[in-house]
């Protein structure tokens, strides 16, 4: 009898050991994966751990029931229809207060909220509009003085007409579509055409010098209110103009930009600054590119504190591949910092996703979007080795129809593997966003692990400064200043914990 009992006991001990080994191995895998992900190397202080408990409690509460009813999960739905749900979120309100550092990929002429553009610019005196092939053109003219492009009318007169009502005008200066967005945009090609036409609509309006000054100031204001203290704008240099016909060259444009930024810094303590990445449209030829690079080199010498680098913009799938210009870029890369858009596509093996190869070989300091990176394992390896940051703009990728559901975004794999990610907003004004918090929400709730906490958010903020084009001494000072803001955020979160029960 005792022998049977002994055998039973031995069997139970062996089973327990096997189970213990299995659970131990499983837990070790989970710990290893957490340490590999973005933020995995950060050790939280005791105070940060307390704040992290509050944050995760809010996050887990907002994730309750989403597996059973995906309609409760905003990142799985189109931004146009879930934006209001995000704005009701307690987690979103926390992100709005979090010091996010910088935004390193924002197109200046689509950076300001639609509400401001419509109420404070479209309503101005001397703004005229006309319609060509169903698209609105807007520009400022002195009363009675227009050009012969089309039949110009004061915008206030156009707004009184049913066919060109306020709702229609808003549809011309943004991509926002009420109801089901797929009814308006049935393909990526279709939405990109509208996107490009929207830039064409607002371009002349924003190039009016007094408007440009106010617009840029408002862009900085909206970032500042959203706890973003440094910005790098993509800009295809416009020629600013006055009502009297005066037209300013590129140098005057850069000086105007600098003057507005410096004024904003004086009036907003803690704001670090803003720079520009010169970004002409990629639909150019070799001669035009050489001219653009020459223009940049000349202007960079006279405005070194304004210009950060060079990029090409526009629809990558129909634009000229980087490879076509590798000789010109190779020659210039020792003197110019490149920040190339690359791989903003769902295609594989085409020129557009191969742009990623050339972006890395040409020394791009960061890669805009990099959506196709997972399809290029060797490039992925080089990106990690060279520590090239990926500028992630999740709302843009959804609106421009690369992905429907943020959970399926390829950058989830980059986040899980600890790649250098910076969260950016691309063109927030065109889809009704404001500042950077909406994109942070999409990344944190839709793309990071359910268990990702404060360490993940802290790493994102630090990345935005680490991978900026600020000189090393200014970068270090910016991180020190950010730490002060971060400590205050932690203190406030703990102090207000009752609000998040």
Q: How far apart are CA 393 and CA 103, in angstroms?
A: 10
Asked if 323 contacts 358 with a C-beta cutoff of 8 angstroms, the reply is yes
Whether 370 and 342 have beta carbons less than 8 Å apart is answered as yes
**Residue with structure tokens 């850069």?**
254
Q: Is 344 a catalytic residue?
A: yes
Smallest CA-to-CA distance from 123 within 156, 167, 170 is with: 156
What's the order of all strands across the beta sheet hosting 273-278?
A: 101-107, 228-235, 273-278, 307-310
Half-sphere exposure of 183 (CA within 13 A, CB side): 7
CA angle 177-400-278, nearest 5°?
115
d(CA 320, CA 318): 7
The span from the CA of 273 to the CA of 229, in Å, is 7
CA–CA dist 112, 207 (Å, integer): 14
**C-alpha span between 381 and 357 (Å, rounded):** 11
Tokens encoding 407: 């959970």
User: Is 369 labeled as catalytic in the residue annotation?
Assistant: yes
The total of other beta-carbon atoms located within 10 Å of residue 241's CB is: 17
DSSP-based three-state secondary structure for 496? coil
Rounded Cα gap, residues 1 and 5, in angstroms = 6
Cβ-contact 229, 101 below 8 angstroms: yes
Residues 6+ apart with CB under 8 A from 124: 140, 211
CA atoms within 13 A on the CB side of 181: 21
CA proximity to 195, closest of 309, 74, 107, 81: 107
Identified catalytic residue from 344, 391, 409, 455:
344
Q: Running DSSP on this structure, what letter comes out for residue 272?
A: -
Residue 346 has φ and ψ, to the nearest 5°, of -100, -5
Residue 185 token pair: 């945009």
Going through 177-284 in order, the beta strands assigned E by DSSP cover 228-235, 273-278
Q: Find the helix or strand (DSSP H, E) in which 104 lies.
A: strand 101-107
For residue 53, report the phi and psi dihedrals to the nearest 5 degrees: -60, -40
Catalytic site residues?
344, 369
């Amino acid at each position: 009898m005792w022998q049977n009992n002994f055998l039973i006991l031995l069997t139970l001990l062996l089973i327990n050991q096997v189970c213990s080994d299995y659970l131990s191995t499983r837990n070790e895998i989970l710990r290893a994966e957490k340490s590999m992900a973005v933020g995995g190397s950060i050790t939280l202080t005791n105070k940060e751990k307390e704040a992290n408990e509050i944050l995760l409690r809010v996050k887990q509460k907002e994730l309750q029931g989403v597996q059973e009813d995906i309609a409760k999960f905003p990142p799985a739905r189109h931004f146009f229809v879930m934006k209001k749900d995000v704005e009701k979120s307690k987690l979103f309100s926390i992100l709005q207060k979090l010091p996010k550092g910088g935004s390193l990929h924002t197109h200046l002429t689509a950076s300001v909220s639609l509400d401001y553009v419509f109420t404070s610019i479209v309503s101005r005196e001397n703004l005229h509009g006309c319609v060509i092939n169903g698209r609105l053109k807007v520009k400022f003219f002195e009363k009675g003085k227009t050009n012969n492009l089309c039949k110009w009318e004061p915008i206030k007169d156009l707004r009184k007409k049913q066919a060109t009502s306020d709702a229609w005008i808003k549809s011309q200066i943004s991509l926002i579509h009420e109801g089901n967005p797929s009814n308006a945009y049935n393909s990526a090609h279709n939405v990109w055409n509208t996107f490009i036409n929207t830039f064409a609509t607002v371009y002349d309006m924003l190039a009016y010098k007094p408007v440009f000054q106010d617009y840029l100031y408002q862009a900085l204001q909206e970032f500042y209110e959203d706890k973003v203290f440094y910005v790098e704008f993509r800009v295809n240099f416009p020629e600013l103009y006055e009502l009297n016909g005066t037209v300013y060259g590129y140098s005057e444009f850069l000086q105007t930009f600098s003057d507005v930024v410096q004024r904003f810094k004086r009036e907003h303590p803690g704001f670090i600054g803003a720079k520009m990445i010169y970004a002409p449209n990629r639909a150019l030829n070799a001669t035009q590119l050489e001219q653009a690079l020459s223009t940049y080199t000349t202007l960079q010498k006279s405005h070194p504190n304004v210009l950060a680098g060079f990029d090409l913009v526009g629809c990558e799938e129909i634009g000229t591949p980087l490879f076509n210009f590798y000789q010109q870029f190779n020659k210039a890369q020792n003197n110019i910092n490149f920040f190339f858009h690359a791989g903003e596509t769902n295609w594989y093996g085409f020129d557009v996703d191969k742009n990623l190869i050339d972006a890395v070989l040409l020394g791009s300091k960061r890669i805009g979007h990099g959506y196709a990176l997972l399809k290029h394992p060797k490039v992925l390896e080089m990106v990690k080795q060279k520590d090239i940051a990926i500028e992630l703009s999740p709302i843009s990728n959804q609106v421009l129809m690369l992905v429907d559901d943020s959970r399926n975004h390829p950058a989830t794999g980059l986040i899980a593997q600890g790649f250098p990610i910076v969260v950016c907003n691309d063109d927030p004004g065109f889809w009704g966003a404001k500042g950077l918090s909406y994109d942070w929400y999409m990344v944190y709730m839709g793309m990071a692990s359910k268990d990702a906490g404060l360490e993940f958010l802290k790493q994102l903020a630090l990345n935005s400064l680490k991978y900026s084009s600020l000189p090393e001494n200014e970068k270090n000072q910016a991180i020190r200043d950010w730490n002060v803001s971060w400590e205050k955020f932690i203190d406030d979160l703990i102090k207000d914990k009752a609000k998040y029960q």
